[in-house]
Structure 1
Amino acid sequence: MIILTFICSLIFIVCIVLIFYKLVSKYVFLTHHRRIDFFIIGIILASSAIIIYSLATVNHLIENPNVNEEGNIEYLGTLGDLVGGLINPAIAVPATLLTFLAFWVQYKANDEVRKQFDLQKFETELNLKITILRQEITELTLPAISKKNYEGREVMYQLDKELKFIFFLVKNTTKLTDSKTILSLSYYIFFKGRLLFLKNINKLSIKHNVSKKELLDVEEVISKIYTAFKIDFKSISKDISGEIHILDQMSLLSQALDKGFKISELHDDFADYKGIYYLFSDIYSYNLYHLPFKGHETKLSLLFRQIFNIVKFVDNVDTLTYEQKRGYLRTLRGVLSNYDQLQIFYNWYSETATKWEDNENKFLTDLRMIHNIPVDFLIDDFKLEDIFSNRNFKFEKGRKTSDSLFENVEIYSVLI
Structure 2
Amino acid sequence: MMIFVWPDLLYVSFGMFFFIFLFFVYKNKEQIKTIWVKKDVKNVLKKITISQIVLGGAFFCSVLFLLASFLAPYYLSVYPLEMSLSSNMASSINGLMSPFIAIAAAILTFMAFWVQYNANQRMIDEDRKQQIERQFYEMLKIHNDNVKSFHVERSIPIRLSFREYEPTQLKNLYADGQSYLQIILLEFNYVYEKIKEVMPGEKEKWFSISYDIFYNGAEYTHKLNKINDDTLHFFQSCRNCIWQFSEYEKFTVMGDDIFRGHVAQLNSYYRHLFLIVKTIVRIDDKIMNYSEKRQFLRIVRAQLTSVEQVLLFYNWKSECGWKWEQDIKDGSENHFFTDYRMIHNINPDDCIAFSKQELLDEMNKKNKDYKYEGSSYKDDPLFELF
**Is 1:335 matched up with 2:335?**
no
Aligned pairs for 1:293-372 within 5 A: 293-319=259-285, 320-359=288-327, 360=332, 361-372=334-345
Q: Does 1:133 align with 2:110?
A: no
Higher relative contact order (CA 8 A, sep 6+): 1
Query: Are 2:382 and 1:382 aligned?
Result: no
Contact 2:185 2:311 in 1 (8 A): yes
Cα distance change on mapping 1:45 and 1:91 into 2, 3 Å = closer
SS at match of 1:148: strand
CA displacement at 1:219 relative to structure 2:
0.9
User: Partner of 2:260: helix, strand, or coil?
Assistant: coil
Secondary structure at the counterpart of residue 133 of structure 2: helix
Of 159, 174, 178, which residue of structure 2 is paired with 1:149? Answer: 174
C-alpha change, 1:28 and 1:119, in structure 2 (3 Å) is farther
SS of the counterpart of 1:120?
helix
Structure 1 position 50 matched with structure 2 position 23? no
For residue 28 of structure 1, give the secondary structure of its aligned residue in structure 2. Answer: helix
- Please state if 1:170 is matched with 2:143: no
Percent same amino acid among aligned pairs? 24
Distance 1:52 1:27, change over 3 A: farther
Q: Give the structure 2 partner of residue 103 of structure 1.
A: 113
* CA shift digits 1:346-390 (9 cap, x unpaired): 1111222211111222111111101111211211x4113124322
Q: Please give the root-mean-square deviation of Cα atoms over the aligned residues, in Å.
A: 3.0
CA distance in 2, matches of 1:7, 1:55: 15
Checking the alignment, whether the CA contact within 8 Å between 1:174 and 1:215 is kept in structure 2 is no
Preserved contact between residue 11 and residue 48 of structure 1 (Cα < 8 Å)? no
Evaluate the alpha carbon distance shift between residue 7 and residue 60 of structure 1 in structure 2; reply closer, same or farther with a 3 A threshold.
farther
Note the alpha carbon deviations across 1:323-360, whole angstroms, 9 max, x for none: 22211100111111221111101111122221111122
Secondary structure of the equivalent of 1:61?
Answer: coil
TM-score by length of 2: 0.78
Relative distance call for 1:169 and 1:110 in structure 2 (3 A) is: same
The residue correspondences of 1:31-110 to structure 2 (distance < 5 A) are 35=52, 38-39=56-57, 41-57=59-75, 61-63=79-81, 83-110=93-120
CA distance in 2, matches of 1:189, 1:302: 19
Query: Of residues 393, 401, 404 in structure 1, which corresponds to 2:378?
Result: 401
Is the alpha carbon distance of 1:354 and 1:384 closer, same or farther for their aligned partners in structure 2, counting shifts above 3 Å?
A: farther
Secondary structure of the equivalent of 1:371? coil
Report the 3-state secondary structure (helix = DSSP H, G, I; strand = E; otherwise coil) of the residue aligned with 1:393. Answer: coil
Q: Aligned residue for 2:214? A: 190
1:141 Cα shift?
0.8
Secondary structure in 2 matching 1:149: strand
Name the CA distance, whole Å, in 1 between partners of 2:32 and 2:78.
37
Shift of 1:227: 3.0
Q: CA deviation at 1:401?
A: 1.5
Structure 1 gap segments, 5+ residues each: 65-72, 205-213, 240-277, 410-416
- What is the Cα deviation at residue 26 of structure 1? 6.6
Kept in 2, the 8 Å contact 1:167–1:183? The answer is yes
SS in structure 2 at match of 1:158: helix
Q: Is the 8 A contact 1:50 1:90 kept in 2?
A: yes
Distance apart, 1:80 and its partner CA:
7.9
SS of the aligned residue for 1:341 comes to: helix
Q: Which residue of 2 aligns with 1:209?
A: none
Quick check: 1:47–1:90 contact (8 Å CA) kept in 2?
yes
* 2:13 is the counterpart of 1:11: no
Q: 1:200 and 1:349, CA in 2 relative to 1: closer, same or farther beyond 3 A?
A: same
- In structure 1, distance between residues paired with 2:369 and 2:97: 61
How many residues are paired up? Answer: 336
Greater Cα shift, 286-295 or 217-226: 286-295
Q: Deviations over 1:178-224 (max 9, x none)?
A: 112111111111111122222222xx4xxxxxxxxx53332121111
CA–CA distance in structure 1, aligned partners of residues 32 and 77 of structure 2:
37
Q: Mapping of 1:220-299 within 5 angstroms?
A: 220-229=233-242, 233=243, 236-237=244-245, 281=248, 287-289=250-252, 290-291=254-255, 292-299=258-265
Matched letter for residue 211 of structure 2: Y
Q: Structure 1 CA distance, aligned partners of 2:305 and 2:137? A: 18
Structure 2 alignment gaps of length 5 or more: 157-171
Q: 1:191 to 1:145 in 2, by over 3 A?
A: farther
Distance 1:20 1:194 in 2: 70
